């Protein structure tokens, strides 16, 4: 580990249902984030600890741009909970009710949903094999993997298993085997989901490049899309994750994700860049 430098980098710590993030606002400073910084800060013992790190940047065609990294230093194309958290913070800062956000996923629209909740339109789900992407042309509704999971793209790849009891699955052992399955050339997020009632889903998440997380916004969207495709739900759904509740609605304009957000603290990083 490199020794500390004199540089002090301001950051924010946020979480959405326990899915936690470090956020750098690069609009005034210019680029700050390096892969070395991502990995060093992610260490929950010697750093700050988080599931993803996010940079806020300026963009000519949007109010803000967001760039995401996983805790292992890899790039994440989308992060729903982080998008919702930063949207909530930015809306409050601007005293606004709507926000346009540029991500690798495309242009996302966020609004204040009231009662402390933020709604983000996460865009259209991707269901073609080459969009997700998968390694070869194949039916994405039921993959030739034990358990016949469904593949979905939400700016990042997802593999959803529907089971009778999510608590009975050893996700710590199961998650990495699917994350690195040869059908997913860019690895995949893994969800195990259980239908618990009409349009009610209990789910747990293994995120690529991170591991088990208490929640995941893009995973929640992917599970709702997969459950709809399979005829397991037929309208807006409430998903119960390890960290709390999120609501998903599939609309003509895209997949709408609504939930709470939290700005936990501000800090300064004085270590490796």
Measured distance CA(224)–CA(169) in Å, rounded: 20
Choose among 109, 79, 118: nearest CA to 261: 118
Q: Which domain holds residue 44?
A: 9-122+260-269
Q: What is the pTM of this model?
A: 0.94
C-alpha distances out from residue 156 to 122, 184, 207, Å: 12, 11, 10
Q: Are residues 14 and 88 in the same domain?
A: yes
Question: Domain holding 170: CATH number?
Answer: 3.10.310.10
**Helix-strand-coil percent breakdown of the chain, rounded to 5?**
20, 40, 40
Q: pLDDT at position 4, please? A: 44
Report pLDDT digits (tens) over 200-228.
Answer: 999 999 999 999 999 999 999 999 999 99
**15 and 106 fall within a common domain:** yes
Please indicate, yes or no, whether residues 118 and 163 belong to a single structural domain of this protein: no
What are the backbone dihedrals phi and psi of residue 215, each rounded to the nearest 5 degrees, phi first?
-165, 165
Sheet strands (E) in the chain: 9-16, 19-25, 52-59, 62-70, 75-76, 98-103, 106-114, 117-121, 150-153, 157-162, 189-197, 200-207, 211-213, 237-241, 244-251, 254-259, 262-269
pLDDT at residue 2 greater than cutoff 70: no
Residues 51-109: tens digit of each pLDDT = 999 999 999 999 999 999 999 999 998 999 999 999 999 999 999 999 999 999 899 99
Residues 111-167: pLDDT tens digits? 999 999 999 999 999 999 999 999 999 999 999 999 999 999 999 999 999 999 999
Please determine, for residue 5, whether its predicted confidence score (pLDDT) is greater than 70. no
Does 64 lie in the same domain as 157?
A: no
96 domain-assigned: yes
């Amino acid at each position: 580990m490199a020794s500390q430098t004199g540089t002090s980098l301001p950051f924010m710590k946020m979480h959405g249902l326990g899915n936690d993030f470090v956020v750098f606002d690069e609009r005034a400073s210019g680029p700050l984030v390096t892969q070395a910084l991502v990995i060093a800060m992610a260490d929950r013992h010697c750093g700050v600890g988080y599931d993803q790190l996010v940079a806020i940047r300026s963009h000519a065609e949007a109010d803000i741009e967001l760039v995401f990294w996983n805790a292992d230093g890899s790039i994440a194309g989308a992060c729903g909970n982080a998008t919702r958290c930063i949207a909530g913070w930015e809306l409050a800062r601007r005293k606004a009710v709507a926000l346009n956000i540029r991500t690798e996923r495309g242009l996302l629209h966020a609004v204040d949903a009231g009662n402390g909740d933020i709604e983000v339109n996460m865009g259209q789900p991707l269901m073609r094999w080459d969009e997700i992407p998968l390694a070869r042309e194949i039916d994405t509704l039921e993959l030739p993997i034990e358990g016949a999971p469904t593949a979905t793209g939400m700016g990042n790849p997802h593999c959803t298993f529907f089971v009778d009891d999510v608590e009975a699955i050893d996700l710590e052992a199961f998650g990495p085997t699917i994350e690195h399955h040869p059908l997913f050339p860019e690895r995949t997020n893994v969800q195990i989901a259980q239908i618990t009632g009409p349009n009610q889903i209990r789910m747990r998440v293994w995120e690529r490049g991170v591991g088990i997380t208490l929640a995941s916004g893009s995973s929640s969207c992917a599970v709702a899309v997969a459950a709809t495709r399979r005829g397991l739900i037929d309208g807006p759904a409430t998903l119960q994750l390890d960290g709390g509740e999120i609501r998903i609605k599939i609309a003509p304009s895209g997949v709408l994700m609504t939930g709470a957000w939290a700005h936990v603290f501000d800090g300064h990083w004085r270590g490796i860049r």
